[in-house]
Amino acid sequence: MKKTVFAILILCLAVGLPLMALDLQQRGLNKFRVPQRFAKITVDLNTHDRTDELLLERQLSEPAKVEIMMQSDSAALKQVRFVAESEILGLGQPELEFMVGQVTGTASMASTTVLPAGRYAIYLTSHKHAGQLVIGYQEHPIDPAEFVRLSRIHQGDLNNPPSGYTEVFSADLTGLEVQNQVIYSLSVKNSETIGISVYTSAKQGMVSVDMAGGTSNWTSLVSTEHRICDQMEVSPPAGEYQIKLTCADADGQLYVFVKRNGEGR
């Protein structure tokens, strides 16, 4: 009987070890989860120090939306710069900077930008240390009429909402000083999707538009650095929600548009 039990234990061990190894291997493979629709760059951080090392350079033949996402299994901070040749619609300067720490599994750092035709590049600054950095990128040609609309907003003509969106607030921000002032309230039903577009032309001072209700918060939808929040869709739990404005020493204007259940109202 003892020999039989001992044999069973050996058999379980023989089967269990490969299964444990397979599980560990699968866990390692699942550290980085970049969707297949993205092209991917994988950087071994343990080869050398990097200072603004060029990782990727692309040429857009037409205006496009460019999505990027980043993951890393190293906790050490790495600076990733996304630089456009001319401009990034909605931003005050033609580049984005990310400080990437340890981000794995279903979490990632991500950004979607709208660029005119031209070159863009991605640069990395990091010290030599164990680990990897994975960057996924994807380009989507944008409808010419949609690009014109967003370009007008970028240039300060803010009253250019998407189809189906209704204006719920607009203001001249010059001389306006408010803290968490409610500018729009809405009651959300179950399974209701809310579309929100917020645009500002402010280039100085402080501007922040937030949406909050219950346990849900969406902060800094726009600021002087990120001036376009276009067609953000949320499906919050049923309840009462408020859109709030904080503003001080700012210039320019602010417009807020909302779309509910596919129809502006």
On whether the CB atoms of residues 246 and 158 are closer than 8 A, the answer is no
CATH topology of domain 148-260: Jelly Rolls (2.60.120)
Q: Where in the chain is the domain with CATH 2.60.120.380?
A: 39-142
- CATH architecture label of 39-142: Sandwich (2.60)
Phi, psi for 153 (deg, rounded to 5): -65, -45
pTM for the structure as a whole: 0.80
How does pLDDT run across 57-108, given as a tens digit for each residue? 999 999 999 999 999 999 999 999 999 998 999 998 999 999 999 999 989 9
Render pLDDT for 195-236 as a digit per residue (tens, 0 to 9): 999 999 999 999 999 999 988 899 999 999 999 999 999 999
Buried/exposed code over 153-172 (b: 16+ C-beta within 10 A; e: otherwise): bbeeebebbeebbeebbebe
